[in-house]
Amino acid sequence: MVGRRCSSGAPWLRNVSWAAAVAIWLGLVLLAALLWPTDRQRADESASSNGDSGQSYVGAAGGDAQQAAENQRRGRAESGKRANSAWQPAQAGGKIARNAADALGTQPENPKVPQIDRFAHVRRAMVEQQLRRRDIADARVLAAMEKVPRHLFVPNDVQSLAYADRALPIEHGQTISQPYIVALMTQWANLGPESKVLEIGTGSGYQAAVLAEVCGSVFSIEIIEPLALTAQRRLNELGYSHVAVRCGDGYQGWPEQAPFDAILVTAAPDHVPQPLIEQLAVGGRLIIPVGRNVQQLTVFEKAADGTVQRFEVASVLFVPMTGRAEEGPSPDDGP
């Protein structure tokens, strides 16, 4: 009898043991399922840091994709809860981004990183409302104005106004012309893909960048040295390797590089410097604001016989041309 009781109790004990084992196994499976997303996220981050994500991420101009991916991984670790990094995929930028692995990325946490595409829709609106609705019809000029990131050429405190229909102040008491005037002067230059252009008055470098989008080479002179240095650095960062900037008095032009298919002057003398006329190629055009209190944007076109035709385009307001221009005309200078 005693033996039967012990024998009949054994299956019950075995059933309890199997139930406990099953419960423990289910608990381990549930724990593994809860931990699995964290492990997967860690694996994704590891792949991203090794450049395996299939996307190219770029920080400041000239940065490489591997370093940017490492910055992305660090950003995730700091936030703790974000599944996606703040970096955005790079967008192709043609001439603008040639020195930045075909793109300039955006990283809102770092204000030093250019954010070109943030204003893309505003640039399109500027082209449609301020240029196309007026008399800017050259398709290459319109494309250049839509492409060049004007907000990167103005101080941070006026970036929100970069695409407004107005001139804006820049450093050292100078200004950046309103978009319409930039487009108008570029259109009147009548440039081709191989044209060589001289600009007098680099300023921020914006006009030079627009010119570089529609011609072969640009030579620009700025009399204020800090502006010249800043403009050259900015243009280099944006990939405009075919723009050369030097500091000097633009009154005498750039005779070593003459003749030019077009010369654009972005400051107003009260007379036309004769050296600029002489440095025009046959068929070339000089676009210059002339006057003191009342200025006229004027176009001079050189004919094959050396004579010059003159056209007055519009009333404008530019900063005065300084340096030699302030001394007044010489007997050889133009009207």
Q: Catalytic residues, which ones? A: 177
Q: How far apart are CA 97 and CA 105, in angstroms?
A: 10
Q: How far is CA 58 from CA 17, 51, 68, 153, 323, in A?
A: 59, 12, 6, 21, 42
Q: How far apart are CA 243 and CA 205, in angstroms?
A: 10
Q: What is the DSSP letter of 130?
A: I
| Contact criterion met (CB below 8 Å) for 212 and 242 | yes
The phi and psi torsions of 134 (rounded to 5 degrees) equal -95, -125
Identify the helix (H) or strand (E) that includes residue 312.
strand 308-316
Sign for the CA dihedral angle at 132, 171, 212, 59 comes to negative
